[in-house]
Structure 1
């Protein structure tokens, strides 16, 4: 089995475990990113009602939001979209690590060939690491973007339903105010409407429903919503792996100089190096992640207001800056840092350990065969 396949399978396994551990944080973070609250007086909608201009925000810290989800939706609410997410993680990590290792092998072969010609020291430079990661990331995005569109929809379904209910409530109140009831009995239709609205619960929403909804809204191209910012975000794993490989290279070189040529890196060291790498990449690319999530979520989260709904990446960026301000690009960033750093650290650690286990088994197998002969 080639080392590209081994790394692909190990990456898929590590990614699944990391996803299960950190998924509740990911669900809350996606809802934070897609929550939209315009600055006062800046909505372009024809309505001017204050409750419409400033829809309730799902604010509070990460822990508070987790508790809110559990109280209103149960533990299952924290794991909305987990099944397609696990499939997406396995596919994404498998595809990424397979092509990453494949391109990495090519880069190392080229670097060694250059050394033979007297050019360079035989090691892969930072720019080459960036290119390798970018190529692997682009192929991964093109293949797996539909899965993440479905996951985002499922994570934010309840949030969108609540926004729809809020918009209906505002419509009922405005209609009642326009008719100017003169007696308490006149207000009974309004009370009945509001009572019926309160009784409505979010509809069950599975993968099949998400597929039908996305297709009915935009056809096949709907499954590639957010593709442009996602492709630009390829620089996230590029930066991440550049930092990761550079730190590992430095660590191994230092270890070789102090431990009689041994370059073995412990699981804890891989965990810490992975955490640092992911932290740097997340800080640099988070605004693009917010744009991507908003494009992939139901546009009803905007509360029916065109100022908070987007037709594309550029439209989203312009409206977010105009109506919400620059801080909206960093909504939920603290949650994302905790989730992504923890997930990346677990992924790297488990991946490297799985590769080590395979190499040990592969190393023992020929010896066993030789002895038996």
Structure 2
């Protein structure tokens, strides 16, 4: 089953929660929208949002603020369910065909298709709801024997629907259809603004947006959409609230309704109830976006548990090839927060898991779903952790961390620690990059133009934590032997190398760059010694064009495959380095 269903379920759930929280404002705004302004208003007319709130409470009680909530909850669940299902379906088609994210134009088209589907399916529901929420209860005087005033009973959803069918016929359920179709532009504006703001915000962050950030983005996007389309909201509400019985004549068309408003109330009539509607719409949308993101994860898990959806695996088997021999390994994969979409990573990382990035002082939380057939864990180096979070089966602690003397960013690593040596040989390792506080995501003159990760590992298939068809020993960099893909840089670029070494006593390596020196702190050398479970961060200026080699100086290791080519491409034009101000894009 596709993610469309999960999006539909979470959208419906988020709509129900947001509707319950803001429904009194919906009642007030609906009544203000259908109220016709007059030079001589009656005592029953509402002056503003506050006055409407007080009068409804006085004449109808608290339940008056929730008139028609049953039909509203049904309507919003159907509306949001249909909208998100069709929007995500169209989005998937565009992204599959274009092999990229949707453009702004495609996003607007997807919104138009989804919105139109919603209007044709749900207009009858909202017509019934509008009739109920705009029904004003009148007081009926009793006999003059001192009895209290008695409220008239509000019509039920079924009674309202039958009344519409009796007085207006089936077409009465589609009152306000034309302005409703025009109002499809409201969610188009809303979601376009939301996606654009979200994309810009994500560029400034190194992690997923929080629930409250979704709340703010939802509020701002709905504020823009409602402010632009509000006159059509008023026209739609008045057409849905009107009936032949109440008017005594055929209901006016959209143009006639517009003329009547201008004639009797002026331009201001198109903005009746604007303040309450803006407040209601903004809060409803904000709660919807916040709750939908939370409920989407639950929807995915629910579908997985019910067997309606295949689970995505974060730790899973991987067929890996050395010198034309395919061996079964385990691998850490990165997914989005719903565990539905695998995140891409550079090919040169090979067997390494996704890069975890954080600043000094950050709290790093990793949600790991083990779908392998053996126990695994995640044990970090370079991060402080509690005993419960260590990822090992024995008591221990770590005092590792970044000091002020360290560079702009330094590399550490993580690995499975259930059976340390066997898990590492199985491929369960990955890098961690720790940045100085306040520098992750912000450009600095010390930032590199390009970065590469290189893990020197002697992998023993006979000592893997999973059964393998091989018992060979492989000398590798990132799991590759003799070559690594995509190790290309431009002339005069500043390149940062994140070096790691994993393994036991045979894993003492000396990394060598054939093109020249690298800088480690204030030391310049073309060699760097690596002990088991050690990490080094070095910088290189790519000033020697051509094909070069990164290799281990130990002859046995290099002969066994612990070497890789990297290419410095020729300079274009004068060859002088450009003054780049773009921070290196994180690999994950």
TM-score (norm 1): 0.76
Matched, 1:283 2:223: no
1:23 positional shift = 0.4
Is the partner of 1:10 in helix, strand or coil? helix
For residue 4 of structure 2, what is the aligned residue in structure 1? 4
1:208 positional shift = 1.6
For residue 221 of structure 1, what is the aligned residue in structure 2? 171
1:324 positional shift = 1.3
**CA–CA distance in 1 between the matches of 2:256 and 2:96?**
44
Residue pair 1:229, 1:289 contacting (<8 A) in 2 also: yes
Matches within 5 A, 1:183-202: 201-202=151-152
Superposed CA offset, 1:263-313 (max 9, x none): x111111111111100000000000000010011135898x698xx94221
Residue pair 1:12, 1:90 contacting (<8 A) in 2 also: yes
**CA–CA distance in 2 between the matches of 1:279 and 1:19?**
17
Aligned-pair RMSD on alpha carbons?
3.0
Residue pair 1:35, 1:301 contacting (<8 A) in 2 also: no
Relative to structure 1, the CA distance from residue 111 to residue 125 in structure 2 (aligned partners, 3 Å threshold; closer, same or farther) is: same
For residue 214 of structure 2, what is the aligned residue in structure 1? 270
Matched, 1:242 2:229: no
**CA–CA distance in 2 between the matches of 1:305 and 1:35?**
18
**CA–CA distance in 2 between the matches of 1:123 and 1:364?**
23
For residue 371 of structure 1, what is the aligned residue in structure 2? 373
1:370 positional shift = 4.3
1:242 positional shift = 0.4
For residue 292 of structure 1, what is the aligned residue in structure 2? 236
**CA–CA distance in 1 between the matches of 2:44 and 2:256?**
22
**CA–CA distance in 2 between the matches of 1:217 and 1:6?**
40
**CA–CA distance in 2 between the matches of 1:100 and 1:129?**
9
Counterpart among 145, 148, 153 of residue 126 in structure 2 = 148
For residue 332 of structure 1, what is the aligned residue in structure 2? 273
For residue 297 of structure 2, what is the aligned residue in structure 1? 356
**CA–CA distance in 1 between the matches of 2:245 and 2:210?**
45
Residue pair 2:168, 2:244 contacting (<8 A) in 1 also: no
1:371 positional shift = 3.2
Residue pair 2:244, 2:251 contacting (<8 A) in 1 also: no
For residue 138 of structure 1, what is the aligned residue in structure 2? 116
**CA–CA distance in 2 between the matches of 1:301 and 1:78?**
25
Question: Whose strand proportion is higher, 1 or 2?
Answer: 2
Superposed CA offset, 1:245-269 (max 9, x none): 11111222332xxx3xx4x111111
Residue pair 2:60, 2:151 contacting (<8 A) in 1 also: no
Aligned residue pairs total 312
1:357 positional shift = 4.0
Counterpart among 82, 104, 116 of residue 69 in structure 2 = 82
Counterpart among 52, 63, 70 of residue 57 in structure 2 = 70
**CA–CA distance in 2 between the matches of 1:319 and 1:310?**
12
For residue 108 of structure 1, what is the aligned residue in structure 2? 95
Residue pair 1:236, 1:281 contacting (<8 A) in 2 also: yes
Matches within 5 A, 1:28-39: 28-38=28-38
TM-score (norm 2): 0.49
Relative to structure 1, the CA distance from residue 326 to residue 273 in structure 2 (aligned partners, 3 Å threshold; closer, same or farther) is: same
**CA–CA distance in 1 between the matches of 2:262 and 2:69?**
32
**CA–CA distance in 2 between the matches of 1:8 and 1:286?**
26
For residue 323 of structure 1, what is the aligned residue in structure 2? 264
Relative to structure 1, the CA distance from residue 291 to residue 298 in structure 2 (aligned partners, 3 Å threshold; closer, same or farther) is: same
Is the partner of 1:124 in helix, strand or coil? coil
Q: Which 5+ residue runs of structure 2 have no aligned equivalent?
A: 143-147, 305-310, 317-368, 376-588
Q: Which has the larger radius of gyration?
A: 2
For residue 313 of structure 1, what is the aligned residue in structure 2? 254
